[in-house]
Structure 1
Amino acid sequence: MTDVRRAGERYRGGDPAAGISSLHAFSFGPHYDPDNLRFGAVIACNEERLAPGAGFDEHPHSHTEIVTWVVEGVLTHRDSTGHESLVRPGDVQRLSSAGGVRHVERNDGPDPLTFVQMWLAPLEPGGEASYEVVHGIADSTPYAVPEAAAMLHVRRLSAGERTAVPDAASVYVHVVRGEVRLDGEELRPGDAARITAAKDLEAEAVTAAELLLWEMA
């Protein structure tokens, strides 16, 4: 079964006066939707836009796997475990908040910053916080998040190119850019598909496109 959620249906958040614009795919913060709390391990998929100089001041997280994909611009990350990184398009950043960690996310560059941040629920709570960045991840190279029994697939497709959707109990597909055809539906930037019992499905790029696919047990 494929459940398509359109970009226009996302809950709008952030703080526009402070240069922060957010679009939330799931129940988040003051927007509580008991019928939209999670899909598989995914509990948040936020599209964040930060103006130059804007950002999220230090704030806490716990018991969450936080994976970030930069679309454009440069993200500055600092956390309470001592890590400080610049995250650019093509990099996969993961913060395992485990028993608790605090971090800062900012746009310290001169250009607008857009990133997609996805939160996954771990199989077990607690543990030690950890952090890593994979710079310039190659197309089709899976990125494993074993703590959540999940695998991220990044696909960059030219027009007319096809990619297999992983056969899995749950697959979450987010369109970063371009247009794709999936299971009879046309998906555009910001659209997502929640697929249950995925089997023998393909996504076809109508235009050049970039997709994030979460394969979950």
Structure 2
Amino acid sequence: MDVRRATERYQGGDAAAGITTRHAFSFGPHYDPDNVRFGALIACNEEHLAAGAGFDEHPHRHTEIVTWVVEGELTHRDSAGHETVLRPGDLQHLSAAGGVRHVERNDASGPLTFVQMWLTPRESGGEPSYEVVRALPDAAPYPVRRAGAVLQVRRLAPDGRAVLPSAPYVYVHVVRGRVLLDATHLDPGDAARITGVDEPLRAVALTEAELLVWQMEGEPVLG
């Protein structure tokens, strides 16, 4: 288990434009050849947007983009004609496939926080697709089939327990609260990268907590 603390994340964004970003992996000008990916996961970005701030239209290709809203409202518009407002507990999955452009903004009056995760698909090309799951239930598996990955959101009351899935690659991101994972304390923004575990690990909540848990088959190679 490789634990990466919130304080170790790369600082990004544009503070003058009301955007603060914390990157878990190499991203843009922040390049670390030893921290490019974990399994299919190539980005896990914590995004904080002030009211009125946002990302102007920009392109994506060959990427599975999964977004989890933590606080506030996220407005999404894309070149395929989708326009959606996402709120806490909503999950968005944009499969960029052969190419798509989109806009992400905080058009509300309060702050916005979301976690955005990028995964590499097994095959390149294809038609983009888009899906929103409102109020994703606790522990409900959300498959990202093109990347051979499954996401679960775990919400735990104090002293609550969750058994992590068994998979070649397991990634745990703490959205909120404090948890104990195999005798290791994890705080908000911390993440654990788990491989080669013979028996499933258990997470124990020390406070009310929310976790994003990925199980992945491996590192896809674009075909």
Q: TM-score, normalised by structure 1?
A: 0.99
Specify the code of the residue in structure 1 equivalent to 2:204.
E
Corresponding position of 1:101: 100
- Asked if residue 188 in structure 1 is aligned to residue 184 in structure 2, the reply is no
4+ residue segments displaced more than 4 Å: none
Tell me the distance in 2 between the aligned counterparts of 1:133 and 1:35: 33
Q: 1:25 — aligned with what?
A: 24
Aligned length: 216
Partner of 1:72: 71
Q: Does 1:135 align with 2:134?
A: yes
Q: CA deviation at 1:184?
A: 1.5
* Structure 2: unaligned runs, 5 residues or longer: 218-223
Aligned to 1:58: 57
Residue identity (%): 69
Q: 2 CA distance for matches of 1:200 and 1:91? A: 27
Q: Deviations over 1:100-156 (max 9, x none)?
A: 000000000000000000000001111100101000111111101000000001000
**Which residue matches 1:87?**
86
Structure-1 separation of matches of 2:210 and 2:60: 28
Taking the aligned partners of 1:203 and 1:62, their CA distance within structure 2 comes to 35
What's the counterpart of residue 220 of structure 2?
none
Counterpart AA for 2:55: F
Q: CA deviation at 1:197?
A: 2.5
Amino acid in the other structure paired with 2:130? Y
Residue 37 of structure 1 aligns with which residue? Answer: 36
TM-score (structure 2 length as normaliser): 0.96
Q: Give the deviation of 1:56 after TM superposition.
A: 0.1
* Structure with greater strand percent: 1
Matched with 2:213 is 213
Separation in 2 of the partners of 1:197 and 1:84?
41
User: 1:131 is paired with a residue of what secondary structure?
Assistant: strand
Structure 1 residue 200: deviation in Å?
2.1
1:170 — aligned with what? 169
1:86 & 1:210 partners in 2: Cα distance? 22
Helix, strand or coil at the partner of 1:110: coil
Aligned-residue offset at 1:183: 1.4
Report the residue type matching 2:209 in the other structure: A
Q: Is the 8 A contact 1:167 1:197 kept in 2?
A: no
Mapped to 2, the partners of 1:205 and 1:126 lie a distance apart of 41
DSSP-derived class of the 2:146 partner: helix
2:135 alignment partner AA: G
**Paired residue for 2:221?**
none
CA RMSD of aligned residues (A): 0.6
Query: How far apart in 2 are the matches of 1:65 and 1:167?
Result: 22
CA distance in 1, matches of 2:173, 2:196: 17
